[in-house]
Amino acid sequence: MDIELARTFLAVVEAGSFIDAADKVHVTQSTVSTRIRTLEQQLGRPVFERSKTGATLTPAGAHFERHAITLVRTWAQAKLDAALPAELYASLEMGSVPSLWDGFLIDAIPSLQATLPNLAVKASWGDSEGLSKEIEDGTLDLAVMYRPRNAMGLVALQLFEDEFVLVSSDKDKLTDPFGGRYVFVDWGPEFRADHLLSFPDLTLSGLHLAIGTLGLQYLLSTPSSGYFPHRIVQPSIEAGLLYPVNNAPRFAYAAHAVFNHEQRDSFPGHAAQHLQAFARSLPFGTT
């Protein structure tokens, strides 16, 4: 079977219509329609019920969905494995939200490679929504993220709880951290929602940063305040470079390693278990 047929099928499932699926796979709507007709001819069953409002799975389509996910995942893995050096016999596609790269995954990768020395790691970052989609459709083997969706067939191992705290590099502004330079660091949809609920009347910050590391560098160079994971700013607090705003709300999110349950006994499952053990060895890693 043409892998593009399975990939297009999954795009229609996710988008709910042929038009929106065309945008996702970067082809015309007529190409999507042709691919789905070809797929249905090969399966001998219709996989979608078409209507003016979109496309919904038929019983045959629902049965085929998990096989399509496996096909796409297997093909992606095969392409990666074919390009590996002789000493490496498998690869791991791993993605995470930026805040969990800082101060955790970057430190965990050397020990992961030492534990699984014949495994090539391809790392990426994204937001929670994108990672959820990628792990569900099989384009990622392992996702490290907050609040994973409760999707059938996925395993989520809790690693640790991340607590986001408000800190300032301006000691004179601790009683009014928003009165000076406040940096809004975008830690993802969960943080944005909680921040809005806690500070509904806060005037938008003049500086928005999507990468936490840049925010921390800014605070350390310019008197200002912002929210960061406690584990990341603790060394700067102990060094007297940053000061916690003790009366400010704190936001806690459990970090998880997510993978397909069929891969529990293969590299994704082994990698997730290693990350869990590594997290528990750290001062903040008690779950």
Q: Name the average pLDDT for the chain.
A: 86
* pLDDT computed for residue 220 by the predictor: 92
pLDDT tens digit string along 242-254? 999 988 999 999 9
Distance CA 166, CA 171 (A): 13
The predicted model gives 23-42 an average pLDDT of 91
Range of weakest confidence among 26-30, 33-37, 78-82: 78-82
The predicted model gives 224-235 an average pLDDT of 93
Q: How confident is the model at residue 137 (pLDDT cuts 50, 70, 90)?
A: confident
Q: How confident is the model at residue 287 (pLDDT cuts 50, 70, 90)?
A: very low
* pLDDT computed for residue 233 by the predictor: 93
Q: How confident is the model at residue 262 (pLDDT cuts 50, 70, 90)?
A: confident
Sign (positive/negative) of CA torsion 197, 193, 154, 111? negative
Q: What share of the chain is helix, strand, coil (3-state, %, to 5)?
A: 50, 25, 30
Q: How confident is the model at residue 259 (pLDDT cuts 50, 70, 90)?
A: very high
pLDDT at 118 over 80: no
What is the second-level CATH architecture of the domain 3-79? Orthogonal Bundle (1.10)
pLDDT at 102 over 90: no
Residues of the chain with CATH 1.10.10.10: 3-79
Residues of the chain with CATH 3.40.190.10: 81-157+259-280, 162-252
CATH of range 162-252; options 3.40.190.10, 3.30.499.10, 3.40.190.80, 3.40.605.10: 3.40.190.10
The predicted model gives 44-55 an average pLDDT of 91
pLDDT at 130 over 70: yes
pLDDT at 226 over 80: yes
- 81-157+259-280 adopts what CATH topology? D-Maltodextrin-Binding Protein; domain 2 (3.40.190)
Closest among 46, 29, 44, 32 to 4, alpha carbons compared: 32
Q: What are phi and psi of 20, to 5 degrees?
A: -70, -35
- Give the distance between the most distant pair of CA atoms in the chain: 72
pLDDT tens digit string along 167-200? 999 888 888 888 778 899 988 888 989 999 999 8
